[in-house]
Homo-oligomer: A and B are copies of this chain.
Amino acid sequence: MPKILRINTRTKEYTFEDAGNYANLGGRALTSRIINTEVPADCHPLSAENKLVIATGLLGGSTAANSGRVSVGTKSPLTKGIKESNSGGLFAHKMPKMDLLAIILEDKPEEGAPFSTLFISDGKVTFKDATPIVGMDNYPAHDKLLAEYGDKLVAAMIGPAGETLRLTATIQFTDPYKRPARSAGRGGTGAVMGSKKIKAIILDPAVSNKVGAVDVEAFKTARKTWVEILQGHPVTGQGLPGFGTSILVNVVNEAGALPGKNFRLGQVDHAADISGEKIAEVINARGGKTTEGCHAGCIIQCSQQYNDAKGEYLTSGFEYETVWALGANAMIKDIDDIAAIDRICDEKGMDTIEVGNTLAIAMDGGIIPWGDGKASIELLSKVGTKDPMGMIMGNGVDFAGGAFGVDRLPTVKGQSMPAYDPRAVKGVGVTYATSAMGADHTAGYGVAQNILKVGGDIDGHKKEGNVELSKNLQVATAAIDSMGFCLFVAFAVLDAPNGVQAMADLVQAYTGKPFSADDLVNLGINCLKDEQAFNERAGFTKMDDKLPRFFETDPLPPHGVVWDLDVDELQGAKV
């Protein structure tokens, strides 16, 4: 049975434990249960009392399509609440092959202690001096690790932003193309890893135990059904593979829901210049790749390889939300500047959504001109250094607002909003407001029903139906995150009558334990309950579910919609 590896980063002691009370949990359900059970809710997120948990999903290690997402859980230094941030890459599927269900980093070394790299092998953890890669950006540091550990390297690492405890700091994971290009992006998980003085976690390339479904035949059948569901849906079968997530730029702009200029606009004139269609055109012209998967077993392939003007690799995992934050909210029109900033974020280890929005705050505060990509690059180059401007830019929207004197701050629970204006897409607005994660589209993607008309048709301009919609999506999402699935499977599942059953069948066949569609729903509900309970103990109340006042007072052009849900009706979105 896979073990929980618990590592004390101060004493360097570790234990491999049976799952015990954490049995039958995976991914987000597991990280949130551990954090809610073990971390004092009122501790400082960067103190010794906080923990960092990395967990594989219930389908981790399996060949079920799109089941290789890894969950990172902690008390977030950005939101001060519980956080699960998940990522693609090779880590999730590798963990079960090392008999690992979760890795828990505890305590923290005394002040001034050096950074370590954790090398995890069969039943053994080695703390290695990380000095040779400390201060290095993620790509070159990852190259050094590749040189040391070989091409089968599977790493989780932090960049200079995480080392310097920035609130936007990510944990980056090795992708299938030997790049540290996949991010547990939101909530500053990288700062928690940095506070524990762990620069990287390496899973021994030499260990790869055989992992398989307990019920081989049932798994084979379920797996086939699952592939048919994903390939049969227009979004997962055609839209995402064709243009990646940035296909949404034109769609959301058309809908008047693309936040522009720090959430002042619902449409931007230059949408075509930053659209998925434009990006695909540039990629093709420069010999890049328009399709890539973020983890082995992905059949959606929404990622890409974006090359620079010389035809050399610049970035990948170049998501719609990144393009939106930089291209629309910060009004940067040059897609090459946007791609360059995406790369900087991966190099420093920073959340592109929070960083893009923070640039918009710097522009709103007159620090740099609106839309100035070069000035943005210059500002971000300071993050991870001792430059105080880097300290500010690396700490996100609320922090930058305090530094620059900007009072228009599109955040909930300290986390800034992603690429859909809550006034025009109320289904996702309810999620922003009520999720324990803070403003997070991936916690309950009401955009599907409000704009894409997948899984239903609910008017995003009106509040009717959107509280219930968000609640149901939040439950489904928590379950999906717990199985290790990529969230995009939801598009197909929502429209497939047998979608939920197919996922449950996969889990049952893989684990060999009964797992019904009801169990799947309860997995999601219980995960959300853990998260809500933690946040309540941390002092969050319904008052923390408010959106900033300007969403209520300032109508969003072109449709003139405002946010009109009060905190009491929003409580209907909670489990």
| A residues adjacent to B (C-beta < 8 A) | 40, 42-47, 49, 164-165, 167, 191, 195, 387-389, 391-392, 395, 399, 402-405, 407-409, 538-539, 541, 543-544, 546, 548-550
Can you sample 22 A-B contacts with CB below 8 Å? A40-B549, A42-B549, A43-B549, A44-B549, A45-B407, A46-B407, A47-B407, A47-B549, A164-B405, A165-B405, A191-B405, A387-B388, A388-B389, A388-B391, A388-B403, A392-B403, A399-B402, A399-B403, A539-B543, A539-B544, A539-B546, A541-B543
Instruction: Please name all residues of chain B whose beta carbon is closer than 8 Å to the beta carbon of A42 when the two chains form the complex.
Output: 543, 546, 549
Q: Give Cα distance in the complex from A45 to B405, angstroms.
A: 11
Q: Give Cα distance in the complex from A49 to B541, angstroms.
A: 23
A402 touches B395 (CB 8 A): yes
Q: Give Cα distance in the complex from A359 to B329, angstroms.
A: 35
Instruction: Please name all residues of chain B whose beta carbon is closer than 8 Å to the beta carbon of A46 when the two chains form the complex.
Output: 405, 407
A44 touches B409 (CB 8 A): yes
Given A167-B402, A195-B405, A405-B165: A549 touches B49 (CB 8 Å cut-off):
yes
Given A539-B544, A544-B539: A407 touches B44 (CB 8 Å cut-off):
yes
Number of copies: 2
Instruction: Please name all residues of chain B whose beta carbon is closer than 8 Å to the beta carbon of A409 when the two chains form the complex.
Output: 44
Instruction: Please name all residues of chain B whose beta carbon is closer than 8 Å to the beta carbon of A404 when the two chains form the complex.
Output: 391
| Interface of A, helix, strand, loop or mixed by DSSP | loop
Instruction: Please name all residues of chain B whose beta carbon is closer than 8 Å to the beta carbon of A395 when the two chains form the complex.
Output: 402-403
Instruction: Please name all residues of chain B whose beta carbon is closer than 8 Å to the beta carbon of A44 when the two chains form the complex.
Output: 407-409, 548-549
Closest CB in chain B relative to A122 CB, distance in Å = 35
Closest CB in chain B relative to A287 CB, distance in Å = 40
Q: Give Cα distance in the complex from A409 to B45, angstroms.
A: 12
Q: Give Cα distance in the complex from A44 to B42, angstroms.
A: 25
Residue of B nearest to A364 (CB): B111
Q: Give Cα distance in the complex from A47 to B550, angstroms.
A: 10
Closest CB in chain B relative to A409 CB, distance in Å = 7
Instruction: Please name all residues of chain B whose beta carbon is closer than 8 Å to the beta carbon of A549 when the two chains form the complex.
Output: 40, 42-44, 47, 49
Q: Give Cα distance in the complex from A371 to B165, angstroms.
A: 25
Residue of B nearest to A541 (CB): B541
Q: Give Cα distance in the complex from A395 to B387, angstroms.
A: 17
Residue of B nearest to A546 (CB): B42
7 more A-B contacts (CB under 8 A) besides A42-B543, A195-B407?
Answer: A44-B408, A164-B405, A195-B405, A392-B392, A392-B403, A399-B399, A539-B541
Q: Give Cα distance in the complex from A546 to B40, angstroms.
A: 13
Instruction: Please name all residues of chain B whose beta carbon is closer than 8 Å to the beta carbon of A544 when the two chains form the complex.
Output: 539
Residue of B nearest to A165 (CB): B405
Instruction: Please name all residues of chain B whose beta carbon is closer than 8 Å to the beta carbon of A543 when the two chains form the complex.
Output: 42, 538-539, 541
A-B pairs with the 8 shortest C-beta distances? A539-B543, A165-B405, A44-B407, A388-B389, A388-B388, A391-B403, A46-B407, A47-B407
Q: Give Cα distance in the complex from A165 to B43, angstroms.
A: 29
Residue of B nearest to A395 (CB): B402
Closest CB in chain B relative to A28 CB, distance in Å = 25
Residue of B nearest to A48 (CB): B407
Q: Give Cα distance in the complex from A49 to B553, angstroms.
A: 11
Instruction: Please name all residues of chain B whose beta carbon is closer than 8 Å to the beta carbon of A164 when the two chains form the complex.
Output: 405
Residue of B nearest to A194 (CB): B405
Q: Give Cα distance in the complex from A388 to B45, angstroms.
A: 24
Instruction: Please name all residues of chain B whose beta carbon is closer than 8 Å to the beta carbon of A548 when the two chains form the complex.
Output: 44
Instruction: Please name all residues of chain B whose beta carbon is closer than 8 Å to the beta carbon of A539 when the two chains form the complex.
Output: 541, 543-544, 546
Q: Give Cα distance in the complex from A387 to B388, angstroms.
A: 8
Closest CB in chain B relative to A163 CB, distance in Å = 10
Q: Give Cα distance in the complex from A548 to B539, angstroms.
A: 13
